[in-house]
Amino acid sequence: MKIYFASGNAHKREELSRILAPHSIVIPPDEGIAFDPEETAADFFGNALIKAKALFDLVGKPVLADDSGICVDALGGAPGVLSARYGSDNGIKLTDYERNQLLLSNMKGIKERSCRFVCNMILYLGKDRFYSVQETLEGTLIDELRGSGGFGYDPLVLVEERGLTVAELPAGEKDAVSHRGKAARRILQLLDE
């Protein structure tokens, strides 16, 4: 089945393509579709639903959408739903590296380092017809970037039971433990019913 994924993020498409095979994952830029809905919700579910509805209205086909981010306990759950826009208050979007450095500077001197990645994923099949799944990956925020795999905050989050950051995990292993991987496998069960 061809599934439109409500994102312009090629890294996420790559992950989902591995997990949801043999289904074909297409992002709007693949087909020249202009897509940039404003994410105004206060939670991951709300933002995922905004994106799912917006893309469904454009393509009229099944849509997969996610909203995900890192929630740091010592920062009251921040950056949370603002993870991709963290530090972009002036309208200039920071790079992954710059957002990681900002998070490290905001954590300077704080000993409590527990955090989690959260992913809410929606399979949108039509008006008022959708499934929502939310999963997490628990971790510990470290003080320096480690690893060259993954993207976003992956180099800062240590997966304790593996002794590696998310960015140090091989792709298949990341897919097995990550918040997005867990959510996508639940969606795959729904697709295959």
- Quote the pLDDT of residue 92: 86
DSSP reduced 3-state for 70 = strand
Q: Known binding site for substrate: residues? A: 7-12, 68, 151-154, 174, 179-180
Per run of 10 residues, the mean pLDDT along the chain (length 193 residues) is 93 93 94 94 98 97 97 98 90 92 97 98 95 98 95 96 96 94 95 80
- Quote the pLDDT of residue 89: 80
Strand order in the sheet with 24-26: 24-26, 2-5, 63-72, 114-126, 129-141, 157-159, 164-165
- Quote the pLDDT of residue 145: 97
Q: Known binding site: residues? A: 7-12, 38, 67-68, 151-154, 174, 179-180
Residues whose CB is less than 8 angstroms from the CB of residue 88 and which lie 6 or more positions away in sequence, other chains included = 94
φ and ψ of 44, to 5 deg? -65, -40
Q: Known binding site for Mg(2+): residues? A: 38, 67
pLDDT of 12-24, one tens digit each?
A: 999 999 999 999 9
- Quote the pLDDT of residue 28: 97
Residues whose CB is less than 8 angstroms from the CB of residue 122 and which lie 6 or more positions away in sequence, other chains included = 45, 48, 49, 52, 63, 64, 65, 66, 130, 131, 132, 133
Residue 67 known to be catalytic: yes
Domain 2-191 has CATH 3.40.30.10: no
- Quote the pLDDT of residue 150: 87
Listed by start position, the domains of the chain span 2-191
Active-site hit among 67, 73, 89, 192? 67
